Amino acid sequence: MTPVYLGFGSNVEPRLDHLTTGLRLLGESDLVVVTLSSVYETAAVECPEPAPFLNGVVLVQTSLSPGQVLDRIQDIEIRCGRRRPYPHAPRTLDIDLLMMADLVWHTPRLVLPHPRLPERRFVLEPLAEIAPRLRHPLLHRTIARLLTECPDRHAVKFYCKWPTHSV
């Protein structure tokens, strides 16, 4: 089984319900939830509509390939009502494949680790909560260090623990 870190986000109400539904659907997709970060409220970054996001990171284990993981998480997004009418549109559920063990992968469809990971405080904060010593396979720095070096200064505020889920 391979460890996979997934970033979860929603800025369409009911935001927390969308995150929780997506989390539940992971279990139906050969993605076994191991650890959850807290849920954080963050400003909408790169979005034309300013509705704040709820964000979190989930560690799962799987035997799926990177492409299969991407297929599964995109299916979950669609099942949760995700539409892509224009770039950076509001999202009922956005799931990003952040890292998959120490795999470096570059195809037209998927790049691992996520290329904007070091620039996004809303991802680094919850990732550092559950995996501060995890090393970025290209930058050779821990997530905790990347967080301290992150140029993004948007506020990331604790919102809650994930409701009604035990790992």
> Which amino acids are annotated catalytic?
82, 91, 94, 96
Residue 142 is which amino acid?
A: T
Q: How deeply is 141 buried, as exposed, middle or buried, from its count of CB atoms within 10 A (0-12, 13-18, 19+)?
A: middle
From the list 107, 112, 127, 147, the residue with the least C-alpha distance to 9 is 127
Q: How deeply is 52 buried, as exposed, middle or buried, from its count of CB atoms within 10 A (0-12, 13-18, 19+)?
A: middle
Residue 90 in tokens: 């509001």
Contact 80, 18 (CB under 8 A): yes
From the list 140, 6, 137, 141, the residue with the least C-alpha distance to 60 is 6
